[in-house]
Structure 1
Amino acid sequence: MKKTILIGLLGLSSLLTFGQTGDYYLYVGTYTRKTSEGIYVYRFNSKTGDFAPVGIAKGSNPSFLSISANQRFLYTVGGGGDTARAFAIDKASHQLTLLNAQPTGGKGGTHLEVDKTGKWLIIGNYSSGNLSILPVEADGSLGKLKEVIQHEGKSVDPERQTKPYVHSINIAPNNRDVFVPDLGTDKIMTYTLDAKTGQLTPGNPPFTTETPGSGPRHFTYHPNGKFAYVIHEMGGTITGFTYKNGALTPFQTIKTLPDDYTGRKWCADIHISPDGKFLYGSNRAHESLAIYSINSKTGQLTLVGYQNVLGKTPRNFAIDPTGNFVLVANQDSDNITIFKRDAATGKLTPTGKEMAVSMPVCLKFIP
């Protein structure tokens, strides 16, 4: 039975005035280890940076989120990281209706993405070091597990790289190439997706080897389709690649931290501005976003500077679809900080506005 679980709908007009132009909805995935109750929904104005709470979809640890291309459905992994859940998004109220849940066949589900056709959900399972593929039914609900693909191998760190640790799923704009950074093996695994059957087969080449001990984590494509970038959790670096015919060819590796920094290297997330001119990467422990300009012809990164995130442990962040604001999910300080972005320089300025959310993990915008 379908169950609407979004609660606490608030009268937006009593809080802030929103116009139709520039308004988006922000979905916030969380860990529910402290006071969070599930997925938080906000209305966000991309002209002013104002926001208003809409409601909460209750559930256990709905961490990373993925929204279908038609923006009708939202998917998450939750509980102990071994269950995927499907929600319908009401286009008028933005209430979330739980459609169903399915076991993933893996452990520690940490990242997921639904393909462009909306027919397949791919989940990266960190703890078990494998991928899960689940079919999506016509009504947006999840079918039973189709396949589990197990990674093999290890790398040089005796504590953190004794086995595979799948960290993110990245389906290319062509909906065919799928790149999967594995922190435990120091490889970016490559797959080819058959969108008709949901079959994942090894790409050509089947993987790209990263610097031993670097720990590749999150990955992003440049809007021009020519470049891709990966951030290394353990190495404190970002590597840029040319991307062509399903293959990655590295052209640069650059630090994410100042030369005089001696603390822990603990990178997390990576995103490119909608105009393709700037790249941002988050440093946990240093509590910053590193900012780089991007050479449009070569893809080369040049450091612009660092922005303190005004919180602790920036596990995830998002650039709003207009490129005007950057929102940072600070997991361990229980806040989402809002920064104004200078489109000309890429630099960020604190707005003084923040959302109080316990253990935010993932931020997703839709109109």
Structure 2
Amino acid sequence: MKQFTIISLFLFMASTAQEHYNLIVGTYTNACFSEGIYVYDFNLQTLEYQLKSHTDKVMNPSYFALDSEKEHLYSVNENGNESTLSAFRYDPQTGLLNLMNKVDSKGADPCYIINDDKNVISANYTGGTISVFPKKPDGSLADAVQVIEHKGSGPNEKRQEASHLHMVYFSPDHQYVFANDLGSDKIYIYHYHANGGTQTLLLKDEINLKKGSGPRHLVFSPKGNFVYVLQELDGTLSVLEWKKNQLHLIQETTVAPNLFNGINGAADIHMSQDGKFLYVTNRGDANTISVFKVSGNGTLNMIQQISTQGSAPRNFTLSPDDAYVLVANQNTNNIVIYSRNTKNGTLTDTGKRIDLCQPVCLVFDKVE
């Protein structure tokens, strides 16, 4: 009996420890008071949270990514022609982020960043460029070794006067980098050579999407055979099959509400781990999150659309257990927490909120 009690206590302690994650939040810092990046201790069972640490006066870390070892965090610093990328040393236990160095982004207003063991790659919105930065042995950033400038435009004169790179994304096999150009309604596909230096990215293909739609973000299905592309300007959601390293359009639907005549600002897109449900936020006049059921052939059917309980849901994330969805409402300075029905995919507002100046990037990290 005593042995059973000890084992039960051990299992309880282990399960309790696994409930805690770091929730790392990036913000804009020029509209209200913010120090940049905030790290919260977050309990997935109780939804309780507590601030562990924050950076000190980091400029507009509007998007960031952890490395695979969870030892470094790489952030954009969105600041027009003075934009930079920052490398931080990251301690999951304390949540501390210590700045290692900054480098010129080589393109105005970087808005997305990816990394692997060799490189950090940024999409620079206003500059219309993609920049490749090798990692130094200590994890800090070297200066850019490759900068790819894009030229293009679209029919929306206010938003598509030039190329605007909004995302870079590794293919599941890590052989390619996909790049969404909101300004020219294209997806660029690059061969990726990790040790390629000035030839790290070599253009393979470019895919034309609906004119004036403005491709912003994409996500792959778990099996890697479908790509879902969210288009910011008109709320189009495109489904493409990725087969034999080629993209083929199979469906176009929309995230806009029925009979909607307002302004769209489609923002972020994520899929459940089982690949059965897709989630999309829309800003503008809508301020909604939509839930789509994914069929066996990859096509989509909207099953729910609800308010984000705030304005400008720029970014969101699913919790590591897929039980919750956290939505960052930029203009109302809060993170709204929804419970997620893992069987039918629908969302319910828990009433839980995290108040923070202009939250725009959410990443969970398990505390071992």
Amino acid at match of 1:287: N
The answer as to 2:76 corresponding to 1:90 is no
When you count helix as a share of all residues, which structure comes out higher? Answer: 2
Counterpart residue number, 2:266: 267
Following TM superposition, by how much is the alpha carbon of 1:244 offset from its aligned partner in structure 2, in angstroms?
Answer: 2.5
Aligned length: 346
Per-residue displacement from partner, 1:19-49 (whole Å, max 9, x unpaired)? 3122211111110011111101111222332
Q: Distance in 1 between the 2:54 and 2:248 partners?
A: 43
The answer as to 2:161 corresponding to 1:162 is yes
> Unaligned stretches of 5+ in structure 2?
1-14
Amino acid at match of 1:22: E
Map 1:350-361 onto structure 2 (within 5 A).
350-361=349-360
The SS at the match of 1:158 is coil
Q: Distance in 1 between the 2:64 and 2:321 partners?
A: 20
* TM-score normalised per structure 2: 0.91
The answer as to 2:17 corresponding to 1:20 is yes
* TM-score normalised per structure 1: 0.91
Per-residue displacement from partner, 1:44-89 (whole Å, max 9, x unpaired)? 2223322221111121111101111121110011151520000111
Counterpart residue number, 2:5: none
The SS at the match of 1:168 is strand
> Unaligned stretches of 5+ in structure 1?
1-17
Q: Distance in 1 between the 2:78 and 2:298 partners?
A: 39
The answer as to 2:74 corresponding to 1:75 is yes
User: Are the aligned partners of 2:179 and 2:187 in contact in 1 as well (CA < 8 Å)?
Assistant: yes
The SS at the match of 1:167 is strand
Following TM superposition, by how much is the alpha carbon of 1:226 offset from its aligned partner in structure 2, in angstroms?
Answer: 0.9
Counterpart residue number, 2:41: 43
Q: Distance in 2 between the 1:349 and 1:86 partners?
A: 37
Amino acid at match of 1:78: N
The SS at the match of 2:106 is coil
Amino acid at match of 1:21: Q
Amino acid at match of 1:96: L
User: Are the aligned partners of 2:62 and 2:78 in contact in 1 as well (CA < 8 Å)?
Assistant: no
Based on CA coordinates, which of the two structures has the bigger radius of gyration?
Answer: 2
User: Are the aligned partners of 1:274 and 1:321 in contact in 2 as well (CA < 8 Å)?
Assistant: no
User: Are the aligned partners of 1:236 and 1:256 in contact in 2 as well (CA < 8 Å)?
Assistant: yes
Counterpart residue number, 2:9: none
Task: Find 2:29's aligned residue among 32, 50, 55.
Answer: 32
Deviates further, 271-280 or 238-247:
238-247
Map 1:1-367 onto structure 2 (within 5 A).
19-33=16-30, 34-58=32-56, 59-78=58-77, 80=79, 82-115=83-116, 118-198=117-197, 199-204=199-204, 206-284=205-283, 285-295=285-295, 297-367=296-366
Deviates further, 44-53 or 98-107:
44-53
Question: Identity of counterpart residues, as a percentage?
Answer: 36
Following TM superposition, by how much is the alpha carbon of 1:203 offset from its aligned partner in structure 2, in angstroms?
Answer: 4.2
Following TM superposition, by how much is the alpha carbon of 1:359 offset from its aligned partner in structure 2, in angstroms?
Answer: 0.5
Q: Distance in 1 between the 2:173 and 2:363 partners?
A: 21
Q: Distance in 2 between the 1:168 and 1:189 partners?
A: 10
Following TM superposition, by how much is the alpha carbon of 1:176 offset from its aligned partner in structure 2, in angstroms?
Answer: 1.6
Following TM superposition, by how much is the alpha carbon of 1:274 offset from its aligned partner in structure 2, in angstroms?
Answer: 1.4
Amino acid at match of 2:152: G
Per-residue displacement from partner, 1:253-306 (whole Å, max 9, x unpaired)? 1110222221111100000011211001101021110110111x3111111111
Per-residue displacement from partner, 1:133-152 (whole Å, max 9, x unpaired)? 10111211001111110011
The SS at the match of 1:19 is helix
Deviates further, 88-97 or 206-215:
88-97
Q: Distance in 2 between the 1:70 and 1:172 partners?
A: 20
